[in-house]
């Protein structure tokens, strides 16, 4: 039996990519009505689309939303422009935003700059999620990111483990609502 919430969502006039995200959320049980979600927003198209979609679901699903933006300052004026865009976008949506300036590459690095940035970003998101008492952390990985990850892991010799790629739901907290959505659909 379909709930009243699901029936009302099905009747809404939304673009196809929004319907795909709703199907992904439902089929993978990524979050429930009334939960609070911290959303990672870099300013790129995937994370902006994710926040836009969750914002459209906010009132009907009674979601709490908080955005997080990490500014590594690695690209100078471009990094500042990304931050300004995210600040203005979140203000326009009425979504609280936490911005963190994160310094990377200063320690004796044993991993790539990208891996260090990812690890710090997830730590920042986890810290803010705990502070906000959020139930989930949403990241904007798409089906294309999944395919790239599987290919990369296979090239590195990860074997069968690499074929699994990124999970749609990780550590009972991190979710990927765009998991079944292609990047081209996000850009549409």
| Count of CA atoms in the C-beta half-sphere (13 A) of 159 | 1
Beta bridge partners of 35: none
* 122-152 burial code (b ≥16 CB/10 A, e <16): bebbbebbeebebbbbbbbbbbbbbeebbee
pLDDT of residue 188: 66
| Count of CA atoms in the C-beta half-sphere (13 A) of 118 | 7
Higher-confidence residue: 64 or 176? 64
Most confident range, picked from 18-32, 80-94, 138-152, 173-187: 80-94
Q: Could you tell me the two tokens for 135?
A: 């139930």
Are the C-beta atoms of residues 168 and 39 closer than 8 Å to each other? no
Considering the four listed CATH numbers 2.40.37.10, 3.30.470.10, 3.40.30.120, 3.40.50.620, the one that applies to the domain covering 34-142+168-187 is: 3.40.50.620
Which pTM value belongs to this model?
0.78
Confidence band, pLDDT 50/70/90 cuts, at residue 6: very low
pLDDT digits (tens, 9 = 90+) for 117-160: 888 888 999 999 999 999 999 998 664 545 454 445 445 555 55
pLDDT digits (tens, 9 = 90+) for 69-106: 999 888 889 999 999 999 999 999 999 999 999 887 75
Confidence band, pLDDT 50/70/90 cuts, at residue 173: confident
Give the number of residues written for the chain: 188
Most confident range, picked from 12-21, 34-43, 111-120, 136-145: 34-43
In the chain, pLDDT over 90 holds for what percent of residues? 43
pLDDT of residue 65: 98
Domain ranges of the chain: 34-142+168-187
């Amino acid at each position: 039996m379909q709930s009243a919430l699901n029936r009302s969502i099905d009747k809404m006039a939304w673009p196809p990519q929004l319907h795909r995200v709703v199907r992904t959320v439902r089929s993978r049980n990524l979050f429930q009505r009334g939960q609070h979600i911290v959303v990672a927003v870099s300013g790129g198209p995937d994370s902006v689309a994710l926040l836009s979609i969750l914002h459209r679901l906010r009132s009907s699903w009674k979601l709490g939303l908080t955005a997080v933006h990490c500014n590594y300052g690695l690209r100078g004026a471009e990094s500042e422009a990304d931050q300004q865009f995210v600040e203005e976008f979140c203000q326009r949506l009425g979504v609280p935003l936490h911005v963190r300036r994160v310094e990377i590459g200063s320690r004796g690095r044993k991993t790539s700059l990208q891996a260090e940035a990812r690890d710090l970003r997830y730590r920042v998101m986890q810290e803010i999620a705990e502070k906000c008492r959020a139930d989930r952390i949403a990241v904007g990985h798409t089906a294309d990111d999944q395919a790239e990850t599987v290919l990369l892991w296979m090239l590195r010799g990860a074997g069968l483990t690499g074929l699994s790629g990124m999970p749609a739901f990780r550590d009972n907290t991190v979710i990927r609502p765009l998991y079944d959505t292609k990047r081209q659909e996000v850009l549409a």
